[in-house]
Amino acid sequence: AQRVTQPEKLLSVFKGAPVELKCNYSYSGSPELFWYVQYSRQRLQLLLRHISRESIKGFTADLNKGETSFHLKKPFAQEEDSAMYYCAPQGGKLIFGQGTELSVKP
């Protein structure tokens, strides 16, 4: 069955600290991998997509096919990074993780 797990519901870090949001998935075939972000009172929007290999707002995501993980990382968190983050493996079936709320404290 297609499944995605974001093990942390809430992740709280201080400004300037490194941050890693975990995503593990189980998916038949080779899904395309996305991270979406939802800032307070805003709509969901694309943060990054694995196939484009871009770094957006300082975030990168490492795909580990052996572990089927797609963790999101940023070396120095900023207060404006506080948001809900959704990991989304997408292929024949579109699924979203449960979301991780990132809180960056000053």
Residue 9 in the binding site for another protein (CB under 8 A): yes
Question: What burial class does residue 83 get, using C-beta atoms within 10 Å of its C-beta: 0-12 exposed, 13-18 middle, 19+ buried?
Answer: buried
Largest CA distance in the chain: 42
> Among 3, 15, 93, 105, which residue interacts with another protein (rule: CB under 8 A)?
93
Query: By three-state DSSP, how is residue 13 classified?
Result: strand
Residue 98 in the binding site for another protein (CB under 8 A): yes
Q: Which is nearer to another protein, 9 or 65 (CB)?
A: 9
Q: Which is nearer to another protein, 6 or 19 (CB)?
A: 6
Residue 69 in the binding site for another protein (CB under 8 A): no
Sign of torsion over alpha carbons 29, 35, 36, 40: positive
**Residues forming the site for another protein (CB under 8 A):** 9, 31-32, 34, 36, 42-46, 49, 86, 90-99
